[in-house]
């Protein structure tokens, strides 16, 4: 049974990876930029509500900004993430986790058509004086 579950998991991951990867171009410049539901204020609220400060970073008194690039697909889903600026201590992985948990966006547009596009988000990890995550 365990072997069947592992095989099924690998198969599903392969199917979803193939669907997320497209031969269509990914635009870095678009006529209309992809948008998070509710706009930038809601995007940062989503991040603040879902981000968990990694214990490793708290213990090491680490603060910083993770810059993460993602692809917004034509259907608004987030597919691929790349860390452009790292903080380490578990912060990069946490930033990726939150980005991958985002709801669907409104896709970027070129010539009035939905396209795959890149979007870069800064995610701040800031400790207050008492070493508590903000």
pTM: 0.77
Segment among 21-25, 81-85, 97-101, 116-120 with least mean pLDDT: 21-25
pLDDT at 72 over 70: yes
| Residue 102 CA from chain centroid, whole number | 7
For domain 24-125, give the CATH number.
3.30.2420.10
Please say whether the dihedral angle defined by the alpha carbons of residues 25, 30, 36 and 41, taken in this order, is positive or negative.
positive
pLDDT grade for 128, boundaries at 50, 70 and 90: confident
For the chain, what is the mean pLDDT? 85
pLDDT in tens, 48-61: 999 999 999 999 99
pLDDT grade for 126, boundaries at 50, 70 and 90: very high
């Amino acid at each position: 049974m365990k072997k069947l579950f592992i095989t099924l998991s690998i198969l599903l991951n392969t199917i979803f990876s193939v669907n997320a990867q497209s031969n269509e171009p990914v635009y870095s410049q678009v006529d209309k930029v992809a948008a998070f539901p509710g706009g930038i204020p809601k995007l940062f609220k989503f991040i603040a509500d879902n981000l968990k400060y990694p214990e490793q970073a708290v213990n090491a008194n680490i603060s910083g900004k993770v810059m993460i690039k993602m692809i917004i697909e034509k259907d608004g889903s987030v597919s691929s993430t790349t860390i452009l600026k790292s903080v380490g201590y578990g912060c990069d992985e946490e930033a990726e986790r939150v980005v991958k948990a985002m709801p669907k966006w409104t896709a970027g547009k070129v010539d009035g058509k939905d396209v795959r596009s890149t979007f870069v988000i800064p995610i701040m990890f800031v400790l207050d004086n008492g070493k508590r995550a903000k």
